[in-house]
Amino acid sequence: MRISDGKSGKVTGVVKAVYKRLKYLPDRMLHRRRHLEARDRLLGLGTVRSILVVCYGNVCRSPYLEAVLGRELPAVNVMSAGLVGPDRPVPAYSLTVAAKRGLDLSAFRSRPLSRANARAFDLVIVMDSAQRSHVARMFGVSSARIVVAGDLDPEQSATRAIADPWGKSLDAFAESFDRLDRCAATISTLIHYSRQRSRQALL
């Protein structure tokens, strides 16, 4: 019988860590440029009156960002939807983290994107580049109106995508929601700036 000395496990862990770091190296290197491009794209939309937030299941990330944006931008119609599964509540950890930040998600139920007229929204926020491609291809939304949420985060993170905390720890939800808070702050600032600029142009 062979007894492991634990060294192989340590080596495997190191290899995985190095692979992960190299895999997402482009995300870190391109973040600054993507951030500026996302800001320019949002400002180029002019007055934003409606926002659609999309994630995979519409139970973790997009409901939270919808709630934050709804609070920060009361004059904007904000809605969220997902790619799968209707009428599901948010997980308990979502309720806990959101409640600590003054948001009540207890009444929320997931909506599939097929129920929303995605093309009617001025701005569509997605959680990763694959979702951006899917929404543009399958729902006919112009790529100019779709922004990857992580690109709006002023802080550089390990990955461009905002990780789905579904089935993970409370800390994972808090980390994901921290990034979404920063994204929401950028969106809110840019929309307020764009509206102020529009008002001044009318004077």
Q: Is 164 a catalytic residue?
A: yes
Check 122, 164, 178, 181 and give the catalytic one: 164
> Read out DSSP for 33-94?
HHHHHHHHHHHHT-S--EEEEEESSSSSHHHHHHHHHHHH-TTSEEEEEESS-SS-PPPHHH
The amino acid occupying position 136 is: A
Per-residue b/e over 170-197, b at no fewer than 16 CB within 10 Å? eebbebbbbbbebbbebbbebbeebbee
Half-sphere exposure of 188 (CA within 13 A, CB side): 17
Query: How are strands ordered across the β-sheet holding 123-126?
Result: 77-82, 50-55, 123-126, 146-148
Half-sphere exposure of 56 (CA within 13 A, CB side): 9
Q: Is 55 a catalytic residue?
A: yes
The one-character DSSP state at 125 is: E
Q: Is 88 a catalytic residue?
A: no
Check 61, 132, 145, 160 and give the catalytic one: 61
Phi, psi of 102 (to 5 degrees): 80, 20
Check 34, 39, 55, 151 and give the catalytic one: 55
Under a CB-based contact definition with an 8 Å cutoff, are residues 168 and 50 in contact?
A: no
Catalytic positions, written as ranges: 55, 61, 164
